């Protein structure tokens, strides 16, 4: 079994493995190249996004700078807007649905490390070789979600369709669909209903309409 296959099985893997290092180096370099493009270099950006990611949907946009750890472990749906400083540490799979919006400085992480300090430094493989190990859990984000600035999504989290995650939240557990959730740790504040429509905010909607 390869180290990458171990990642997807949710068991300990060695991040220093040569194959994994090559994948990460490629993604890091492409992420840097994307981050250095101009906003009007749309063709170049589109090409780079599709090189970095397993999927980059139609009509999606990443402001940049960006950082993807593996890149090929991330799938982004259609019409997704991603503001600047988007970081995805996608050791395990990261899936983002359609029509999502991400504010500045959003971070998604999937890797986990042993809690015991000595185990973070050194463990042993089945042959007795000393290595550093970690493991990872996938993150799944549904469609039609909005993430405020500075949100962190932690390993193993699933966020349902239609959610709003408040700025500065640290999402450590699953969030059910159509929820407004916020805080550290993030918790569901309430469900999102028709009464949240801009139609009921005349002082804000002005002469526009839904």
pLDDT tens sequence across 132-162 = 999 999 999 999 999 999 999 999 999 999 9
Contacts of 39 (CB under 8 A, 6+ apart): 63, 64
| The two structure tokens encoding residue 197 | 């429509």
Flag whether 141 is in a domain: yes
Q: Looking at the domain assignment, is residue 84 inside a domain? A: yes
CATH number of the domain within which 131 lies:
2.160.10.10
Peptide bond into 73 cis (omega under 30): no
Provide the domain limits for residue 199: 3-205
Q: Pick the catalytic residue from 28, 69, 113, 124.
A: 113
Does a structural domain hold residue 106?
yes
What per-residue confidence (pLDDT) applies to 165? 98
- The residue ranges of the chain whose pLDDT is under 50 are none
What pLDDT sits at residue 34? 98
Asked whether residue 121 is domain-assigned, the answer is: yes
C-alpha torsion sign, points 180, 106, 171, 101:
positive
Q: What total of structural domains would you count in the chain? A: 1
Report yes or no on 210 lying in a domain. Answer: no
Instruction: For residues 9 and 93, give the distance between their C-alpha atoms in angstroms, rounded to a whole number.
Output: 11
Closest Cα partner for 67 from 80, 82, 47, 79?
82
* 137 falls within a domain: yes
Per-residue pLDDT, 146: 98
113 is catalytic: yes
CB 139 within 8 A of CB 92: yes
């Amino acid at each position: 079994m390869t180290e990458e296959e171990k990642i997807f099985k949710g068991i300990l893997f060695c991040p220093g493995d040569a194959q994994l290092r090559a994948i990460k180096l490629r993604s890091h370099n492409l992420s840097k190249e994307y981050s250095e493009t101009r906003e009007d270099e749309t063709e170049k950006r589109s090409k780079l996004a599709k090189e970095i990611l397993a999927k980059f949907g139609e009509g999606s946009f990443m402001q940049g700078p960006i950082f993807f750890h593996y890149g090929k472990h991330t799938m982004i749906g259609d019409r997704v807007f991603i503001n600047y400083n988007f970081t995805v540490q996608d050791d395990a799979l990261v899936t983002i649905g359609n029509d999502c919006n991400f504010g500045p400085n959003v971070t998604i992480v999937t890797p986990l490390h042993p809690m015991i300090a000595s185990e973070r430094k050194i463990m042993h493989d089945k042959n007795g070789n000393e290595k550093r190990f970690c493991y990872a859990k996938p993150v799944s984000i549904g469609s039609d979600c909005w993430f405020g600035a500075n949100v962190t999504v932690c390993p193993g989290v699933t966020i349902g369709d239609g959610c709003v995650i408040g700025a500065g939240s640290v999402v450590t557990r699953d969030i059910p669909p159509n929820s407004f959730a916020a805080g550290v740790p993030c918790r569901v504040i309430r469900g999102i209903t028709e009464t949240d429509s801009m139609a009921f905010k005349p002082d804000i909607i002005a002469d526009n309409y839904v």
